[in-house]
Amino acid sequence: MIRTPAPARVLRGRGALEAVAGEITWLGRRPLLVHGSVGEARVRTRLGPALAAAGVTPERHRHEGPTTVTAIGRAATAARAAGCNVVIGVGGGRVLDVAKAAAWRAGLPAVVVPTSPATCAAVTAIAVAYDNAGAWAGPVAGATAPELCVLDADALAEAPDRLLAAGVLDAVVKVREVRLAARRLPQADAWSTTAQAACAVLAGLVDPAAGGGALSWPPAPPERAALAEAVVWLPGLIAGLAGEANKLAAAHAVHNALTLLPGHERSLHGELVALGLLVQEALDGADDAALAELVAWMRRLGVDPSLEGLGCGALWDDPDPVLAHALSHAGMRAAFPDVTAEGLAAALRRVDALAGRG
């Protein structure tokens, strides 16, 4: 089933934050504002006065750490207890996922204000849950994408280079996973064709194989703002158009499995899934030269995609649970139905050796 492929409304460009209050009042005037300790603080001096000018005083709810079912429940309970009628998430992907899922649980509309370009969480009708140890626990699906998504150009452009690099990597993975999934579709339809068209646009911006890695790094304004907006918006839109069965392959399966390892939390989602992409390319027949070129590009973004560099050096102490976890994912099974634990281990060792040479 394809859920709502994009937010109902989008505010974008410079000054989008200042326009938030006027847009949310038709949703509700008693919002729960879900925030963390970093992203929301960067935009508070702009968002706070805008809400106040519209007579909106939010109930604040702070979230730190992984997006867990418990954290989602706490936020939903806070919304109900305060009599809120809309949930606003302001921050990075974890905060936005908690806000979205809490809104779904409480039966309220969700407004998302991403302050980080590291993920497409602001756009999707899926929240990704983790357990209390930070291991991937599966998706939490909502009936709709957020009612309102606010892509403020200045807020996104001001995010640190590392967050933008993670978003670029996550976007490249989205393009290549969706394209890999499309190869097994028996027949294209309007949704998958549109997803592929969006992949072509996104690849031209971010994928070095399509000339998208040619921007100087880090990019300077206004290219930085445009790139940040693209890596938030387009991967989420592509995921919604492609549908659940056609948006993930081996790269995310490897990412999810790596979250079982102590130390993985030092890496961002986009950094971990970058190693997953290398494994996916290896399983798909890429030679060492192509893989080394991809590694070199990742390093130019400031990312070390080796296991050690990602905090996952303990993998080979006990690889079986991680390999089994990766092989259990539907995306992995669909993309590479014949891969075995031995084959996956060989691909991991191969790309890790190439990545470690930098």
Structural contact between residues 261 and 308, judged by C-beta atoms closer than 8 angstroms = no
Q: Give the global pTM.
A: 0.96
Alpha-helix runs per DSSP H in the chain: 20-24, 39-53, 69-81, 93-106, 153-157, 161-182, 190-206, 223-242, 250-258, 269-283, 288-300, 320-328, 330-335, 341-355
The DSSP bridge partners found for residue 126 are 141
Place 27 in a pLDDT band, splitting at 50, 70 and 90: very high
State residue 351 phi and psi, 5-degree precision.
-70, -30
The pLDDT of residue 211: 86
Q: What are the sequence ranges of the domains in the chain?
A: 9-157, 162-355
Q: Which fold has domain 162-355?
A: Dehydroquinate synthase-like, alpha domain (1.20.1090)
pLDDT 10s digits, 231-270: 999 999 999 999 877 888 999 999 999 999 999 999 999 9
pLDDT 10s digits, 179-238: 999 998 888 889 999 999 999 999 999 999 998 776 689 998 889 999 999 999 999 999
CATH class in words for 9-157: alpha beta
Q: Name the residue with tokens 């130390």.
A: 263
Q: How far is CA 158 from CA 41, 154, 207, in A?
A: 12, 6, 22
Q: Do domains 9-157 and 162-355 have the same CATH topology?
A: no
pLDDT 10s digits, 164-176: 999 999 999 999 9
Separation CA 38–CA 56 (nearest Å): 22
